[in-house]
Amino acid sequence: MSCNYADGLSPYENKGVLGIAEKFDSAEEIEKKINQIIEMLETSKHVVVHTGAGISTTAGIPDFRGPKGVWTLEEKGEKPNLNISFNDAVPTVTHMALRCLVEKGYVQYIVSQNIDGLHLKSGLARRYLSELHGNMFIEQCNKCRRQFVRTTAAETVGQKPCGGACRRSCRGGILLDNILDWEHDLPERDLDLAFMHSTLADLNITLGTTLQIIPSGNLPLKNKKHNGKLVICNLQPTKHDKKADLIIHTYVDDILSKICKRLGLEIPNYSHDEDPTKSPNDDNQEWTIPAQQVKEIEKLYNAKQKAASAQRKAGKTQFTFFTKKEPVISKKKRKAEDAADSDDGIERKVKNEK
């Protein structure tokens, strides 16, 4: 997402297709497609949004493969002009709109490839987010595996020591950045939740990603087996355009603004008071996914898969994974559940899809 991050990665030749020209739909096409998305959102039971570097460009953070992306310019021997640091970057309209859509029950989960920490800064609760490639503002103990929020961006990349001893004082534990390098496996709990939510979704929406990096780029297709829908919002063509039910070519901030306006939702402004990196307190400094959260979605996932398999064998129509809107969990209840789960250890091994 930024030059200093990209420069810290190990050398890697296969960075995908770079610098493809951007495309813009007409105003008339955009309005028509927004109406289609609204209808999908209002009728879908489980919506998952997949976010890429394109949602952070209006925060001043360059993308990777766009016409002025980090790797596109690198191939030309150039570097992008940066006018902001990770520490100073604030969430965009898209980040704040996604938080609003989650809190109002229109979106059930977000899967992000981004390491810039802007979902965290927006105030989005951890239980609604998988971060597949890490987060500049998170450090993780190499022993107890707990994750903690940093007030400044890590200066290291590739799971290196960055923060001293574990904040929970586990014996011998040291804090590492949790930003992946090319050779690292994806974080187990984040990947497991992302895979199951994406499979169970009757609607997957991608924002600002060309879907070239795997396995994250293939996750939005996981619901197609169960007749789920895929919406792609990106300025460039993507790897999976042919499999999409709807494609919108325009700025993601404009898309999310129009969606929220049509739904009668007011997008909240970014607030320092709700940003754990700016206003740390006892309740917002741990970023660990509770083991119980994984168990709950796994139980639902297995039950739905079993029911779907039985119906297919019986020759019945395709099984609908969700029969009612997912409930929105209040902040008070979420806080109580997270507190109860906070002492759970790592209890299960996730099947890591490459």
Domains of the chain: 27-303 (3.40.50.1220)
Please give the Cα distance from 201 to 44 (Å, whole number): 8
- Place 170 in a pLDDT band, splitting at 50, 70 and 90: confident
* Burial degree of 268 (CB within 10 A; 0-12, 13-18, 19+): middle
- Place 316 in a pLDDT band, splitting at 50, 70 and 90: low
Distances in Å between the Cα of 58 and the Cα atoms of 61, 100, 200, 209, 252 are: 7, 19, 31, 15, 10
Question: Is the per-residue pLDDT at 41 higher than 90?
Answer: yes
Q: Is 3 annotated as a binding residue?
A: no
Question: Is the per-residue pLDDT at 147 higher than 70?
Answer: yes
Q: Share the mean pLDDT of the chain.
A: 85
**SS3 of residue 285 by DSSP:** coil
Contact by Cβ (8 Å): 124, 110: yes
Query: Residue 30: what residue type?
Result: I
Q: Is 144 annotated as a binding residue?
A: yes
Q: Is 170 annotated as a binding residue?
A: yes
Q: What is the pLDDT of residues 216-228, one digit of tens each?
A: 999 999 999 888 9
Question: Is the per-residue pLDDT at 96 higher than 70?
Answer: yes
Closest CA to 186 of 319, 6, 353, 58: 353
* Burial degree of 42 (CB within 10 A; 0-12, 13-18, 19+): exposed
Of residues 337 and 110, which shows the higher confidence score?
110
Q: Is 260 annotated as a binding residue?
A: no
Closest CA to 302 of 351, 239, 253, 236: 351
Mean pLDDT computed over 103-107: 97
Closest CA to 152 of 136, 168, 166, 165: 136
- Which of 72-86, 116-130, 187-201, 268-282 has the lowest average pLDDT? 72-86
Query: Residue 117: what residue type?
Result: G
Mean pLDDT computed over 291-306: 93
- Give bridge partners of residue 49 from the DSSP assignment: 110, 205
Active site (catalytic) residues:
133
pLDDT, residue 340, reads 52
Pairing of strands 138-141, 174-177: antiparallel
Closest CA to 59 of 101, 104, 23, 89: 89
- Place 120 in a pLDDT band, splitting at 50, 70 and 90: very high
Contact by Cβ (8 Å): 73, 14: no
Mean pLDDT computed over 177-190: 86
Contact by Cβ (8 Å): 135, 178: yes
Please give the Cα distance from 121 to 241 (Å, whole number): 31
Question: Is the per-residue pLDDT at 8 higher than 90?
Answer: no
- Place 331 in a pLDDT band, splitting at 50, 70 and 90: very low
pLDDT, residue 347, reads 37
Range ranked top by mean pLDDT from 113-127, 180-194, 297-311: 113-127
Please give the Cα distance from 253 to 54 (Å, whole number): 10
- Place 3 in a pLDDT band, splitting at 50, 70 and 90: very low
Please give the Cα distance from 263 to 284 (Å, whole number): 30
Of residues 80 and 343, which shows the higher confidence score?
80
What is the DSSP code (8-state) at residue 243? G
Which pTM was predicted? Answer: 0.86
Question: Is the per-residue pLDDT at 25 higher than 80?
Answer: yes
Number of H helices and E strands in the chain, helices first, is: 9, 10
Share of the chain above pLDDT 90, in %: 63
Mean pLDDT computed over 323-351: 47
- Place 315 in a pLDDT band, splitting at 50, 70 and 90: confident
Distances in Å between the Cα of 150 and the Cα atoms of 60, 106, 351 are: 21, 30, 29
Mean pLDDT computed over 113-142: 96
Please give the Cα distance from 257 to 262 (Å, whole number): 9
Contact by Cβ (8 Å): 135, 121: no
Distances in Å between the Cα of 78 and the Cα atoms of 19, 22, 70, 303, 325 are: 13, 20, 9, 52, 48
Contact by Cβ (8 Å): 11, 236: no
